[in-house]
Amino acid sequence: MTEALPLVAVLVLALAGVRTLSSVSRRRAASLVDASISLTPPGETLRHDPAESWLRRWLMLAGYRTPQAPATFLLLQSLAVALGAALSWGVNRSGIVSWMTEAVSLIPGSVGEMFSTVASLAPWILLLLVVSSPIVLIRSRRRQRLAAIEEDLPLALDLFATLAEAGLGFDSALSRIVDSQPAQRPLTQEFTLYQREMLAGVPRAQALRQLARRIDATAVTVFVSALVQAEQIGSSLAETLRHQADDMRDRRRMRALLLAQALPVKLVFPLIICFLPGIFVATLGPALHQMIKIADNILRNYR
């Protein structure tokens, strides 16, 4: 009965997640908001529920912007908790932990004791891995989205600067860039959403700020700040875009240099783990073999 208590607690959490899903779905259906063309800044959605607003913004930064995204995440998280608890309980009841503990305890020295402790914690480690899997997936999607945006932004800025110097306005240049880029790229999607907001009557400065909030990347924030400042003080848009393109190119070059400088440090660990043991065996192996033969002959003669 005591061993089933964690599973009962997990089932209660799963039922609470389902209840949250139904309540959130009813609220979102009553609001009649299309998240793909919403003009409300991401940080201000659902102001009556700050926790849900934080969750919605976190999911929006990863690219999940449907009205059902928070409720779906809560449901998946509840299912992950239930699955992790069931797997942990099953592993604990199957006797695998005892077998692993006995097996690693046969290792001589304190290494066996250390691995025995790790083996005894295997059900809890499994529970932690399964429960944290939805969060890890969202964070991974967020990193992939940022990497794709930072990859496309320098080329987009160069095109912006070139088209602005050719006499096109910002909106016309943006339309040409959106048409020339793949529609499934995150930066293209953000620019398309910016165009929809402009067509809906949102001022350019506000639409640009909302663009920076949706992406939440340093490079995009600097780019948007420069554009808003240039529009407010009336400076040349082509010159501002050219400076931003040059600055983005320099930052990309510096990032590549930093990665190149960090490469030797990262190669130390594979070198120590993979190459050095083989080198030691190849160089010291014959000498050790000769020493063992000499010691064996000495022991035989002594006997």
Q: Are residues 137 and 148 in the same domain?
A: no
Q: Are residues 46 and 170 in the same domain?
A: no
| Residues 73, 97 within the same domain | yes
Q: Residue 21: pLDDT above 60?
A: no
Q: How many domains does the chain have?
A: 2
Measured between alpha carbons, how far is 8 from 120 in angstroms, rounded to an integer? 22
- Write out pLDDT tens, residues 51-87: 448 888 888 888 888 888 888 999 999 999 999 888 8
- On whether both 133 and 12 belong to a single domain, the answer is yes
Tell me if 294 is assigned to some domain: no
For the cut 60, the answer to whether the pLDDT of residue 6 exceeds it is no
Tokens of 128: 């932690």
Which of 102, 120, 142 is the last residue in one of the domains? 142
Q: Containing domain of residue 102, as a range?
A: 5-142
Residue 124 half-sphere exposure toward CB, CA atoms < 13 A: 5
Which residues touch 246 (CB under 8 Å, ≥6 apart)?
none
Within a domain: 273: no
pLDDT at 201 over 80: yes
22-31: average pLDDT: 42
User: Does 151 lie in the same domain as 124?
Assistant: no
pLDDT at residue 240, rounded to an integer: 84
Q: Establish how many alpha carbons lie within 13 A of residue 40's alpha carbon, considering only the half-sphere containing its beta carbon.
A: 15
Q: What is the pLDDT of residue 67?
A: 86
Q: Are residues 130 and 149 in the same domain?
A: no
In this prediction, residue 141 carries a pLDDT of: 92
In a domain, 177, yes or no: yes
- Regarding whether 148 and 33 lie in a shared domain, the answer is no
Is pLDDT of 292 > 70?
A: yes
Report if residue 212 sits inside a domain: yes
Which CATH number covers residue 224?
1.20.81
Please give the Cα distance from 239 to 107 (Å, whole number). Answer: 69
Residue 228 structure tokens = 């808003």
Q: Does pLDDT of 278 surpass 70?
A: yes
Report the chain's C-alpha Rg in angstroms. Answer: 29
For range 214-230, the mean pLDDT: 87
Please tell me the predicted confidence (pLDDT) of residue 79: 92
CB 67 within 8 A of CB 28: yes
Q: What are phi and psi of 65, to 5 degrees?
A: -125, 15
- The answer for residues whose C-beta is within 8 angstroms of residue 191's C-beta and 6 or more apart is 156, 174, 177, 178, 211
Residue 69 in tokens: 């995204």
Q: Are residues 56 and 128 in the same domain?
A: yes
The pLDDT value given to residue 42: 39
268 belongs to a structural domain: no
Looking at the fold, whether 82 and 125 belong to one and the same domain comes out as yes
CA gap 94, 6 in Å, rounded: 16
Q: Is residue 260 part of a domain?
A: no
Do 165 and 53 lie in one domain? The reply is: no
Residue 139: its pLDDT value, please?
Answer: 92
Give the pLDDT band (50/70/90) at residue 142.
very high
Is 284 inside a domain boundary? no
Q: Please, which pLDDT band fits residue 135 given cuts at 50, 70 and 90?
A: very high
> Is 137 in the same domain as 162?
no
97 and 172 inside one domain: no
Q: Residue 20 and residue 43: Cα distance in Å, rounded?
A: 21
- The pLDDT, as a whole number, for residue 57 is 86
Asked if residues 24 and 70 have their Cβ atoms less than 8 Å apart, the reply is: yes
